[in-house]
A and B are shown apart, each in its own frame.
Chain A
Amino acid sequence: MSKPVVATTSLAGCFGCHMSLLDIDERILELIELVEFNKSPIDDIKTFTKHCDIGLIEGGCCNSENIHVLKDFRKNCTILVSLGECAIMGGLPALRNGIPVEECIREAYLDGPTVGLNKEQILPNDDELPMILDKVYPCHEIVKIDYYLPGCAPRADLIWNALIALVTGDELKLPYEVVKFD
């Protein structure tokens, strides 16, 4: 039997969840014996080359590209897992949800204290750039998500336990210390 295939991506996230995945330390050697990675920043495969069994999603959806990638993952993965607070509830990017988009963009490019010289008052507006959404959406409000691993970042042991449970079919172990929201 071929190895289960795993894909990962970071949408509106900080890559902290991917860092936490790497925090499994030497168990990563065990992991690559158990699974094969496809589209993922970890191996730098940019597009799906085959159907995947597990898709790990870091980050929520803050722009049109996030939605596109998330839908692509849903199409190409049997099981989708929301990894971390941003994927589950929008996380820190969703702090902007109470602020109108225009105000956010003005603060970022024109009025903010850390903005350098922008004499022409240019706001990013190129067809190549993804459109910013009205607010940041949790992944499960865009596509169906099968499992959720909370944490900021999710503890390495939680990610490890969950992956092993998914791959082996054994019951997921959830000690108190591994399920945290921060």
Chain B
Amino acid sequence: MNEKIKIHIDGKECWTTNGTSIIDAAKENGIFIPSLCHVDGIKPAGSCRICNVQVNGRNMTACSTPAVDGMHIESNIPELEEMRKAIIEIMFVAGNHFCPACEKSGNCELQALGYRYQMMVPRFPYEFPEKGVNADSKYIYHDRNRCIMCKRCVRGVMKDGKHVFAFNSRGGENLHIELDTELASQLTEAEALAAMDICPVGAILKKERGYYQPIGERKYDKEPIGSEIENK
């Protein structure tokens, strides 16, 4: 099982172990493949589509596709980079991403990708959705208007074996992620903080935690997202 395999990413020879996802294999070899829904230690969902790479000319999500010996993967090509930028722009207009007024600003992965791709303005019209907020639980403030539906919280925030976040339905226009207020109220402060950290945007915020880091010292103020992998 732990057999070493060789793959090529953008022409670079990379080594990894059999069964590793393409995104993790790239990371091991100092190559950053952007993603918003992938988070270490949680089963991949392939929902944000930003990590799309080309394998034998076919688009595959790098988070949910295991690397196979001899694979030739293209990631940093204009076609994919342009598509990733378009997806980021869609996410910016589909939600209410008021960066200047958001407590996650500076530590937000969507914003960081906006910086990395130098998004000066989204090409699509703003939707300004009204999906509501839920501030009823003790430590968590849940703003559905900022949610990008990456499902990280659905997959990763548990309390006593139960999911704290879940989709309200299977589809349709009113599809959104709901917070189980009662269950969320049982979260400890540390668990609420972990829930905030699992959210790539500012949809899940820990109450009484706003703006705790000064501008200039936040995660993506000085270095672009992914540079920690590329400069390793």
Q: How far is the CA of A36 from the CA of B53 in the complex (A)?
A: 49
Q: A82-B121, A98-B128, A138-B126 are in contact. Are A181 and B223 (CB under 8 A)?
A: no
Question: Taking each of A92, A135, A147, A150, which has the highest tally of chain B beta carbons within 10 Å of its own beta carbon?
Answer: A150
* A141: Cβ under 8 A from any B Cβ: yes
Beta-carbon contact of A91 and B222 below 8 Å: no
Q: How far is the CA of A180 from the CA of B221 in the complex (A)?
A: 8
Output the least CB separation between B117 and chain A (Å): 10
Beta-carbon contact of B121 and A95 below 8 Å: no
* A58: Cβ under 8 A from any B Cβ: no
Output the least CB separation between B216 and chain A (Å): 9
Beta-carbon contact of B222 and A177 below 8 Å: yes
Beta-carbon contact of A150 and B100 below 8 Å: no
Q: How far is the CA of A53 from the CA of B92 in the complex (A)?
A: 31
* B224: Cβ under 8 A from any A Cβ: yes
Q: A91-B98, A181-B99 are in contact. Are A174 and B118 (CB under 8 A)?
A: yes
* A30: Cβ under 8 A from any B Cβ: no
* B114: Cβ under 8 A from any A Cβ: yes
* A179: Cβ under 8 A from any B Cβ: yes
Chain B: CB-nearest residue to A97:
B128
Output the least CB separation between B40 and chain A (Å): 25
Output the least CB separation between B127 and chain A (Å): 10
Residues of B102-133 at the interface with A, using a CB-CB cut-off of 8 Å, are 102, 105-106, 111, 114-115, 118-122, 125-126, 128-130
* B21: Cβ under 8 A from any A Cβ: no
Q: A177-B222, A181-B114 are in contact. Are A94 and B98 (CB under 8 A)?
A: yes
Q: How far is the CA of A118 from the CA of B204 in the complex (A)?
A: 39
Chain A: CB-nearest residue to B123:
A140
Residues of chain A contacted by B105 (CB below 8 angstroms): 181-182
Beta-carbon contact of B130 and A98 below 8 Å: yes
B interface with A by C-beta (< 8 Å):
92, 96-102, 105-106, 111, 114-115, 118-122, 125-126, 128-130, 145, 215, 221-224
Mind listing 22 A-B residue pairs with CB under 8 Å? A82-B121, A85-B99, A89-B121, A89-B126, A90-B128, A91-B98, A94-B128, A95-B98, A98-B129, A98-B145, A138-B126, A140-B121, A148-B120, A152-B100, A176-B115, A177-B222, A181-B115, A182-B99, A182-B100, A182-B102, A182-B105, A182-B111
Additional A-B contact list (5), CB under 8 Å, known A177-B222, A182-B105, A182-B106: A85-B99, A89-B121, A91-B98, A135-B128, A181-B114
